Amino acid sequence: MTSVSFARAVLPVALSSCAALAGGCRTVGATAAPGGEAVVAIGGPETRAEHRLGNGVRVVIEENHAAPAVAVQVWVAGGAAADPPALAGSAHFFEHLVLRGTKRRPPGAAAREIAALGGTLGAWTGADETVYHAAVAAPFLDAALDVLGDALGSPSFEPAEVERARREPSARRTPGPCSAPRRRSRRGRARSSWPASPRATSAPR
């Protein structure tokens, strides 16, 4: 499979492929409850496989047959906490740009391609990670891998898209006054745990 080989060769990230959306990506069989209702049992070690490739990419596969769907996530080991103070918000900004076109796909093409398959494509930035993800019906796994491999391996960063993203509030969010209680709480815990770290002031998406 060309797309898998491409992704494995160029992405210095952890690729996690979960063979379903439901059940937290853990499986496995179903048994009948006394009332006749099916109960999904949580699978044991045999439902998970893990392998580290020669280039450092960690591949994790967890099966769940509750639905004929597949979720693919690419985890990059770096997030908002690693932003230098002078470049606060850059990890989140970069996350937005990666899915905005490649050498093979013009801006918006990747999202349209996945949407045409009935799937979803997106990303998020945390304090310690940036995650790119796609969810599709199981037969379209190759397409999801190809889209994410292409996005991470050859983003185009077209000047027009960079400027467009720069003007969008969601893409240029930077640390500052925060009114959301959950975010204020998270930031307070970070200040207590890592007072000298950018994590204490970062505001991940």
Quick check: 101 and 59 in contact, CB under 8 A?
no
Residue 49's region, left for phi above 0, alpha for psi from -120 to 50, else beta, is: beta
> For residue 160, what are the CA distances in angstroms to 43, 74, 154, 164?
48, 26, 17, 6
Which residues, including other chains, have CB under 8 Å from residue 1's CB and lie 6 or more apart?
Answer: 142, 145
Question: Among the options 63, 95, 113, 129, which is catalytic?
Answer: 95
CA-CA distances (angstroms) from residue 137 to 18, 79, 100, 165, 201? 12, 29, 23, 30, 39
H or E segment to which residue 147 belongs = helix 141-153
Say which residues have a Cβ less than 8 Å from residue 34's Cβ, sequence separation at least 6: none
Q: 94: helix, coil or strand?
A: helix
Q: Please count the CA atoms within 13 angstroms of the CA of 95 that sit on its side-chain side.
A: 30
Catalytic status, residue 95 = yes
Please list the active-site residues. 95
